[in-house]
Amino acid sequence: MSSPQSGILPEGSQHALFITLKAAEGSESLLAIRDLCPMFEVMTDKVAALDESAKLISVLGFGDKIWGRLFPTAKPKQLKSFEERQTESRRAPSTPGDILLHIRSERPDLNFILARQVVQMLAKNVSLVEEIMGFRYLDSRDLTGFVDGTENPEGAERTEVALVGEEDKTFSGGSYIQMQRYVHDLAGWDTLPVTEQEAKIGRTKADDIELSDDIKPLTAHISRVVINEDGEELEILRHSMPYGNSEEAGLLFIAYARTPAHFDRMLDRMIYSDEQGGYDHLLDYTRAVTGVSFFAPSAAFLQAV
CB 223 within 8 A of CB 282: no
Q: Whole-angstrom distance between the N-terminal and C-terminal Cα of the chain?
A: 18
C-alpha dist (Å) from residue 47 to 130, 214, 256, 303: 23, 51, 24, 18
**Cα 40 to Cα 29: distance, rounded to the nearest angstrom:** 16
256 CA to centre of own chain: 6
In this structure, what are the phi and psi dihedrals at residue 261, rounded to the nearest 5 degrees? -65, -35
**Cα 70 to Cα 295: distance, rounded to the nearest angstrom:** 13
Task: Collect all residues with Cβ–Cβ distance below 8 Å to 149 and sequence separation of at least 6.
Answer: 12, 140, 238, 240
Q: What is the DSSP string of 280-299?
A: -GGGGSEEE---EEEEE--H
Helix (H, G, I), strand (E, B) or coil at 134: strand
Identify the active-site residue in 148, 207, 208, 213: 148
Residue 261 exposure: Cα atoms within 13 Å on the Cβ side: 9
Q: Is the dihedral of CA 199, 158, 296, 248 positive or negative?
A: positive
139 is catalytic: no
**Cα 217 to Cα 213: distance, rounded to the nearest angstrom:** 8
DSSP 9: S
Could you give the residue numbers annotated as active site?
148
